[in-house]
């Protein structure tokens, strides 16, 4: 039967995501691996909300809904996004089954085998896996403390246009996580946001903005989203309820140019028909009662402590022997170990012997570089586990370096 598989199926390989999810379930392991919210952040008010919905409105909550999402939720989100500086009405908002579905729909709209997608390096594992299903080539631009290097972006696109890179194939879109990037933790500065849009516009390349963590800022000043700065209507904005409410309900949203949205809705019809109705009603009610904002407050306070604890422990244990990023929001710090450390080879031992988990650097690069790097996600461990977790990591690494 395998001989009749599509070539995308022959190419797609088991990824690290499944392993992450498995690791995170081991209770003895202190996990800096999966990007899971801390269940402590889920507010108990959701109990009453779900009960009210089931008691008074279960005929709707358990029934099919419209493909683009319930109108009331789309209106609520449009108002919320408008307050964040985006110009949109309910008709512009598509409710998706998580922001990853949004990305998959964007891929369905734009990508053919052999196309090119431009990403940051490093970038989100899930996005790399989604792209792999479309048999495209990835070109990438490095990230520094201020996010994607726009000078490098510009010279790369100029090289492509001149036929000197990527076989002259202009990327179908630029995929970016501008705020508290997964995995680097870095944030694209306002100046670079404007520069990114200007370069993208000049080269005629749409921008796909993954806004997953943007509302979870614990330090520094807010920066408008790319969509809020998007005067040429070239940005597709992907958001998620996973980090401001619940990942388990699989809900996100997508706002972008009308033509893209029209096609995305058609593809959603043929993919899962509609996002789950009960979850949408819960999200709407949670939002209307101000609980999304309250949960964001709780989350930020918790993340700030966890981030401080993580960075302090890294400093204490590792001193100057490593470098790591200092995030102003979100879940991640990105660690660079000395040359020669192999975070992929080290991981099984870290988990089994030292009972600490992280995600190895190469998972975040299309070219599997970053062998001495790792992502530490501090959202899930308890504050009182973090120091111990980093100590285990240091022990594991010391043992390795001493061999």
Residue with tokens 């479309």: 134
Angle of helix 150-161 versus helix 190-203 axis, rounded to 10: 10
Q: Does 200 sit near its own copies (CB under 8 A)?
A: no
**Of 341, 338, 330, 337, residue with least CA distance to 243:** 330
Q: Does 389 sit near its own copies (CB under 8 A)?
A: no
Q: Which lies closer to its own copies via its Cβ, residue 13 or residue 403?
A: 13
Q: Does 27 sit near its own copies (CB under 8 A)?
A: no
| Position among 29, 77, 86, 111 found at the interface with its own copies (CB under 8 A) | 111
**Contact window for its own copies (CB under 8 A) among 56-64, 221-229, 304-312, 352-360:** 56-64
How big is the CA angle at 316 (ends 313 and 320), to the nearest 5 degrees?
A: 115
Q: Which lies closer to its own copies via its Cβ, residue 245 or residue 324?
A: 245
The residues, any chain, with a CB within 8 Å of residue 337's CB and separated by 6 or more, are 321, 322, 343, 372, 373, 374, 397
Q: Which lies closer to its own copies via its Cβ, residue 102 or residue 371?
A: 102
Q: Does 399 sit near its own copies (CB under 8 A)?
A: no
Q: Which lies closer to its own copies via its Cβ, residue 107 or residue 322?
A: 107
**Contact window for its own copies (CB under 8 A) among 8-16, 147-155, 176-184, 328-336:** 8-16
Q: Does 279 sit near its own copies (CB under 8 A)?
A: yes
The two structure tokens encoding residue 127: 């996005």
The neighbour count for residue 25, using CB atoms within 10 Å, is 10
**Of 240, 258, 219, residue with least CA distance to 102:** 240
Q: How far is the CB of 69 from its own copies (least distance, A)?
A: 12
Binding mask 218-247 toward its own copies (x if CB under 8 A, else -) reads: ----------------x-------x--xxx
Peptide bond into 3 cis (omega under 30): no
| Position among 26, 58, 164, 231 found at the interface with its own copies (CB under 8 A) | 58
- CA 111 distance to own-chain centroid: 20
Q: Which lies closer to its own copies via its Cβ, residue 130 or residue 187?
A: 130
Q: Does 34 sit near its own copies (CB under 8 A)?
A: yes
Q: Does 90 sit near its own copies (CB under 8 A)?
A: no
| Position among 31, 119, 130, 179 found at the interface with its own copies (CB under 8 A) | 130
Q: How far is the CB of 223 from its own copies (least distance, A)?
A: 25
The two structure tokens encoding residue 345: 């080879």
**Contact window for its own copies (CB under 8 A) among 49-57, 86-94, 189-197, 332-340:** 49-57
| Position among 75, 195, 201, 267 found at the interface with its own copies (CB under 8 A) | 267
- CA 75 distance to own-chain centroid: 24
Q: Does 108 sit near its own copies (CB under 8 A)?
A: yes
| Position among 5, 91, 145, 326 found at the interface with its own copies (CB under 8 A) | 5
Residue with tokens 């490093």: 122
> What is the footprint of its own copies within residues 308-347 (CB under 8 A)?
none
The two structure tokens encoding residue 95: 């409710």
What values do phi and psi take at 238, rounded to 5? -115, 125
Q: How far is the CB of 342 from its own copies (least distance, A)?
A: 25
Q: How far is the CB of 38 from its own copies (least distance, A)?
A: 9
Q: Does 275 sit near its own copies (CB under 8 A)?
A: yes
Binding mask 285-314 toward its own copies (x if CB under 8 A, else -) reads: ------------------------------
The neighbour count for residue 73, using CB atoms within 10 Å, is 26
Using CA atoms, how far residue 386 sits from 184, 309, 359, in Å, is: 19, 7, 16
How big is the CA angle at 143 (ends 385 and 293), to the nearest 5 degrees?
A: 55
Q: Does 51 sit near its own copies (CB under 8 A)?
A: yes
**Of 243, 153, 223, 225, residue with least CA distance to 195:** 153
Q: How far is the CB of 25 from its own copies (least distance, A)?
A: 8
Q: Does 37 sit near its own copies (CB under 8 A)?
A: yes
Residues 304 and 383: beta-carbon distance below 8 Å: no
Q: Which lies closer to its own copies via its Cβ, residue 87 or residue 108?
A: 108
> 356 pairs with which residues across the strands?
30
Q: CA 291 to CA 74: how far, in whole Å? A: 17
Q: CA 240 to CA 371: how far, in whole Å? A: 30
> What is the footprint of its own copies within residues 166-195 (CB under 8 A)?
172
């Amino acid at each position: 039967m395998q001989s009749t598989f599509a070539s995308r199926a022959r190419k797609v390989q088991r990824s690290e995501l499944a392993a992450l999810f498995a690791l995170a379930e081991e209770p003895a392991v202190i996990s800096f691996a999966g990007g899971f919210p801390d269940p402590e952040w889920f507010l108990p008010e959701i109990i009453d909300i779900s009960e009210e919905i089931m008691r008074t409105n279960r005929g709707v909550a358990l029934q099919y809904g419209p493909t683009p999402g319930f109108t009331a939720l789309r209106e609520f989100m449009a108002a919320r996004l408008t307050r964040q500086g985006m110009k949109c009405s309910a008709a512009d908002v598509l409710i998706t089954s998580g922001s990853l579905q949004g990305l998959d729909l964007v891929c369905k709209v734009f990508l053919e085998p052999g196309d090119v997608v431009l990403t940051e390096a490093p970038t989100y594992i899930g996005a790399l896996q989604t792209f792999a299903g479309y048999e495209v080539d990835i070109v990438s631009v490095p990230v520094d403390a201020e996010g994607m290097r726009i000078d490098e972006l510009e010279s790369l696109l100029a090289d492509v246009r001149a036929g000197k890179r990527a076989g002259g194939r202009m990327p179908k879109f630029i995929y970016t996580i501008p705020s508290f990037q997964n995995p680097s933790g870095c944030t694209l500065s306002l100046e670079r946001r404007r520069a990114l849009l200007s370069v993208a516009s000049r080269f005629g390349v749409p921008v796909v903005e993954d806004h997953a963590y943007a509302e979870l800022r614990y330090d520094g000043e807010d920066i408008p989203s790319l969509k809020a700065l998007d005067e040429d209507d070239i940005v597709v904005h992907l958001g998620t309820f996973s980090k401001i409410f619940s990942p388990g309900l699989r809900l996100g949203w997508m706002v972008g140019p009308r033509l893209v949205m029209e096609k995305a809705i058609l593809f959603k019809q043929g993919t899962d028909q509609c996002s789950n109705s009960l979850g949408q009603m819960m999200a709407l009610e949670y939002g209307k009662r101000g609980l999304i904002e309250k949960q964001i407050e709780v989350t930020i306070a918790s993340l700030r402590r966890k981030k401080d604890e993580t960075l302090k422990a890294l400093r204490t244990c590792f001193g100057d022997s490593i470098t790591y990023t200092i995030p102003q929001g979100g879940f991640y710090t990105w660690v660079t170990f000395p040359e020669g450390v192999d975070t992929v080879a080290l991981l099984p031992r870290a988990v089994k012997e030292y009972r600490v988990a992280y995600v190895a650097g190469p998972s975040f690069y299309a070219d599997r570089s970053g062998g001495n790097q790792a992502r530490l996600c501090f959202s899930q461990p308890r504050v009182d586990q973090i120091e111990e977790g980093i100590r285990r990591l240091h022990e594991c690494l010391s043992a390795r370096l001493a061999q």
